[in-house]
């Protein structure tokens, strides 16, 4: 069975940055944590990368919340820079 099979795996494959996919393939991060990071910020590469760094010290649920907050912060910073 492929690590990218099923609904969660397909979501990770479609929305994750390459570093998350690689860590998942190498067994350095669980599928649950990878999904939490990607679900928290599906289109925010920076938030996902920070989430990956924190993956070792947080649970999947904590990661999801943390990355969602980062996603909002990064999005706000980006929009403030445009204004």
- Would you give the distance in Å from CA 83 to the centre of its chain? 27
Domain, as residue range, for 17: 6-82
Residue 83 clears pLDDT 60, i.e. is over it: no
- Per-chain mean pLDDT for the chain: 92
Quick one: which of 70, 30, 79, 23 has its CA closest to 50? 70
In a domain, 1, yes or no: no
**Domain tally, the chain:** 1
Interval 44-57 mean pLDDT: 96
Tell me what pLDDT residue 76 has: 79
Interval 7-31 mean pLDDT: 96
């Amino acid at each position: 069975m492929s690590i990218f099979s099923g609904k969660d795996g397909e979501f990770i494959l479609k929305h994750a940055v390459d570093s998350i996919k690689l860590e998942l393939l190498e067994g350095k991060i669980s599928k649950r944590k990878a999904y939490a990071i990607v679900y928290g910020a599906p289109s925010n590469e920076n938030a996902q990368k920070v989430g990956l760094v924190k993956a070792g010290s947080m649970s999947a649920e904590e990661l999801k919340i943390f990355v969602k907050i980062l996603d909002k912060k990064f999005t706000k910073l980006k929009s403030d820079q445009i204004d």
